[in-house]
Amino acid sequence: TVNELLREERPLDLDRVLPLLNQLPALLHSRNLGARRLAGELEELIRGTGLAEEFAPIAQAVQQLRYEAALTTLEELLDNHPWRKPT
């Protein structure tokens, strides 16, 4: 399908993305405004990869300062991927 083709467009750079993904929950939990910057940076790194669609609602919630919703969705995303590393 078209979605499958788009997902394979660009590989996910886990060496850059994982450290940032693992920092984001703490920022969201503490309601740190740095979460907006970090989510934006992640969105750029993830754009065009298979993770982009899953991360979009998290980035949107962070931009709207809905940190609790973003944290819940982020935790689900991290739990659903085998590459998750402990924080």
Can you spell out the DSSP letters for 18-29? HHHHHHHHHHHH
User: Could you read off the pLDDT of 72-86 as tens digits, one per residue?
Assistant: 999 999 998 876 555
- Residue 9: is its pLDDT beyond 90? no
User: Could you read off the pLDDT of 30-67 as tens digits, one per residue?
Assistant: 999 999 999 999 999 999 998 999 999 999 999 999 99
The confidence band for 4, taking pLDDT boundaries of 50, 70 and 90, is low
pTM, to two decimals: 0.81
Q: Give the closest residue to 39 by CA, choosing from 57, 15, 14.
A: 57
- Cα 30 to the center of its chain, rounded Å: 17
Residue range 11-36: average pLDDT? 94
Burial zone of 54 (CB within 10 Å; 0-12 exposed, 13-18 middle, 19+ buried): middle
Distance, CA of 43 to CA of 26 (rounded, Å): 18
Which residue shows structure tokens 């703490």?
26
